[in-house]
Chains A and B, each alone.
Chain A
Amino acid sequence: MQDYVQQPDSLSAMPPPPPVQGEATTSIMATNLTKIYNGVTVLNIPSLSIHSAEGFGLVGNNGAGKTTFFRLILDLIEATTGVIEIDGQKVARHDEWKSKVGSFLDEGFLIDFLTPEEYFAFTARIYKKSEGDLATFLETMSDFFNGEIIGSGKLIRDLSKGNQKKTGIAAALLGDPQILILDEPFTALDPTSQIRLKRMLNDFKTTRNMTMLISSHDLNHVTEVCDRIVVLEKGVVVRDIHTSENTLKELESYFAV
Chain B
Amino acid sequence: MYKILFQHYLLKGFRSPGYYKNLIVNIFVGIMMLYFLALFLLIGFMLPKMLREIAPESNPSEIFHGIMLYGWFGILMIRYLMQPLNRLNIEHYQALPIKRSIITNYLILKPLLNPANYLMLCLTIPFAIKGITPELGAFAGFRFVGITIFIIWFNSMLAPFLKRKYHNLLIGSIALLIIGGGLAALEYFKIFSVFELSQHLFRFLVTTPFVWILAVTPCIVAFLLNKLFFSQNFYPEKFERKRKNKAVTQRFTFMERFGTIGELISLNIKLVLRHKRTKSTLYTALFVLAYGLIFYPNPVYNNQPAWLLFIAIFLSGTGMLIFGQWIINWDGAHFDYLMTRNIDTRTYIRSNYTLLMALCVASFILTSPYFFFGQKIIINHMVAFLYNAGVNSYVYLFSASFNTKRLELTRGSSMNMQGVSYKNFIVMIPLLGIPIILVAFFGIFKASNIALIILGALGFVGILCREPLLRMTERQFLRRKYALCAGFRKHE
Contacts and interface: CB of A to CB of B under 8 A. Distances in A.
Verify that A and B bind, or say they do not.
yes
Interface of A: 74-78, 93, 95, 98-99, 101, 103, 105-106, 108-115, 117-118, 121-123, 125-128, 153-155, 158, 175
B114 interface: no
B334 A98 contact: no
Judged by DSSP, the binding face of B is: helix
Interface in B446-492: 478, 481-482, 485-486, 488-489
A112 B267 CA distance: 11
A148 to B, nearest CB: 14
A114 B267 CA distance: 9
12 contacts: A74-B336, A95-B345, A98-B343, A108-B334, A109-B336, A109-B337, A111-B267, A112-B333, A118-B250, A125-B263, A126-B341, A128-B342
B344 to A, nearest CB: 4
Interface of B: 244, 246-251, 256, 260, 263, 267, 270-271, 274-275, 333-337, 339-346, 478, 481-482, 485-486, 488-489
Of B249, B251, B256, B271, most buried by chain A (CB within 10 Å of CB) is B249
Given A95-B344, A99-B342, A118-B270, A110 B249 contact: no
A109 B336 CA distance: 5
A122 B263 contact: yes
Contacts of A75: 339-340, 481
Contacts of A110: 334, 337
Of A75, A99, A126, most buried by chain B (CB within 10 Å of CB) is A126
Judged by DSSP, the binding face of A is: loop
Contacts of B333: 108, 111-112
Given A109-B337, A113-B270, A153-B247, A126 B343 contact: yes
Contacts of A123: 341
B270 A77 contact: no
A71 B271 CA distance: 25
B250 A74 contact: no
A239 B275 CA distance: 47
Given A98-B344, A99-B342, A125-B260, A114 B337 contact: no
A153 B246 contact: yes
A112 to B, nearest CB: 6
Contacts of B249: 115, 117-118
Given A108-B489, A115-B248, A127-B341, 13 more contacts: A75-B340, A76-B482, A98-B340, A108-B334, A108-B488, A109-B336, A110-B337, A111-B334, A118-B250, A118-B251, A128-B342, A153-B247, A155-B274
